[in-house]
Amino acid sequence: MRSLFVIALFFATGFGFAQDTSVEGNKVTSKQTAPVWPGCEEEADKKACFNEKLMAHVKENYEYPKNDEGEYLRGKVTIKMEVNEEGNVVVKSVDGAEPKVNAAATKMIEKMPKMQPGSRDGKPSAVSYTIPLTL
């Protein structure tokens, strides 16, 4: 019974997030749009295009660091970043066990192009992302 409650709660919270603006009585929600990667402006599914461009960016721009013996270093990182009101990508944090991998991931994210910023209620708005990567 407890597991059914947890599953129902999961679905309820997933569908409870509103992105459209409306004011009805005491209920207020706001319309939010995500940033648009350059080249995705005309795409029907901008989110899928953003994800494709992001993965292509990682493949093209991540440079594997080497240790003192010349071996390539790999690792898992969690990148917290924001596309700010101007459309610039700002790295908030990169967490992982290997400092050289963290530095390489930061450098790769900083190479992301300027984007069309996200908006809330028609005004530019910062949008935060958390990206887990195995590099």
Q: pTM score, two decimals?
A: 0.75
HSE toward the beta carbon, residue 115, CA cutoff 13 A: 29
Domain assignment present for 14 = no
Domain assignment present for 58 = yes
Report the C-alpha gap between 69 and 58 in whole angstroms: 25
Domain assignment present for 61 = yes
Instruction: List own/partner pairs for 13-21 with CB under 8 A and 24 or more apart.
Output: 21/121
- Give per-residue pLDDT as tens, 97-129: 999 999 999 999 999 999 999 999 889 999 999
Place of tokens 């790295």: 91
Domain assignment present for 119 = yes
Domain assignment present for 1 = no
- Burial of 105 from C-beta contacts in 10 A (0-12 / 13-18 / 19+): buried
- Phi first, then psi: give them for residue 24, nearest 5 degrees: -135, 110
- Domain enclosing residue 88, as ranges: 33-134
Report the C-alpha gap between 103 and 66 in whole angstroms: 12
- Give per-residue pLDDT as tens, 40-88: 999 999 999 999 999 999 999 999 999 999 999 999 999 999 999 999 9
- State the total domains in the chain: 1
Domain assignment present for 9 = no
Report the C-alpha gap between 88 and 23 in whole angstroms: 31
